Each structure stands twice: as C-alpha cells, then as structure tokens.
Amino acid sequence: MSLENRRQPMLTTILLLVLCFFPGVSHILLGRYRQGVVMLVLAVFAFDGLLVLGPNVETHGGLMQTLSIIVLVGLWGYAVASLISLSFRAVNPALDRAAKANLHDGVVDYLKSDFDGAQVRFEEAASIDTDNADTQFHLGMIYKRKGMNQDAKKAFKRSLALDAEKWSWEIQQELKDL
C-alpha cells in the first residue's frame, strides 16, 4: 500500500479520535449506530451527573460525581480502543480479507459436515474480526452441534449484541433448544 493510500485512513482516524471527546459520535459517523447511540446516551448522563452535582458535592458525598467520572473515562477508553481497532483494519485490508475468507471456508466446512475444520476457521475469523455477528452466529452453531452449550450461548448472545436484527429469529430458536 502506498504512502498516499495510507494517509487517508490515518487522517480519518485522527479526526475520529478527536471526536472521541464526545463518546459515540465517531461510531455513529462510521455507521455503528446502536453502539454509538448507547455510548452517547451514557456520556450525556455522565456529563449531566458532573454538571448538576458538581456544585453540590458536599450534599451527595461525591459518589455520583465519582461514578460519572468513572463512566466517562471508561467510555473514552472504549471509544479510542475501538476506533484504533477499526482504523487498523482499514489500513490493513488483508486482515479483513482473511477474516472473510475464514468465515467463507468455515461455512463450506460446516456444509461438508467437517465441524472440527469449521470450528477452527470460525475461531480464526473471530480472532481477526471480533465484531462480526455472522462469525459469532456460526461459532454458536458449531458449538451447539458439538455439545458445547455454554460456549454456544455466549456466541449466540454476542451475535445478538453485535447485530440484534440479522440473526435474531434463528438465535432465539437455537437458544430455546439449548
């Protein structure tokens, strides 16, 4: 990748990191609406806790102010880490291709009833792209098929958390069977 091609994602990353002052805004701009809205709402409540309770620290013992600061620091930390991860994938498209290839090959292995091979492929895809609902769903199916019910529940719930709409009906049916 040439220097000019790398410069654009780097500039975008810097802009998004600057927008992390308001946790959630960068994620909304990147199309991760649910994640961004949740972060933004939490940040608003935390800022509200700081601004409203700031002058009245003595009457509230400072507990709410401390909790507000903890929430804000956590949100900022998560926002920055998440954006750096997304930027790294944008700068290194080979990782994205590897995750997609592993997901595809895992589905092929699953359809061939090679469940051990499919598990290896899905776990590799999940290690590359931790925010892929499809990978988590397919991991859940493999774990369920192999009798690893606790791991299956975790994978299904993670898939729902990442994309509540895509696999929701299928996951609800699978969770009923576990």
CATH code for the domain of 140? 1.25.40.10
Which of 47, 72, 91 is the C-terminal boundary of a domain? 91
Per-residue pLDDT of the chain (178 residues; tens, 9 = 90+): 443 444 455 556 566 556 656 777 777 777 777 888 888 888 887 777 666 655 555 555 567 777 778 888 888 888 878 877 777 666 567 777 888 999 999 999 999 999 999 999 999 999 988 888 999 999 999 999 999 999 999 999 999 888 878 888 898 889 888 8
Number of structural domains in the chain: 2
Q: Which tokens belong to 36?
A: 């961004």
Which of 91, 117, 146 is the C-terminal boundary of a domain? 91
| Rounded distance between C-alpha atoms, residue 5 and residue 12, angstroms | 12
User: Which residue is associated with the tokens 């576990």?
Assistant: 178
What pLDDT score was predicted for residue 5?
46
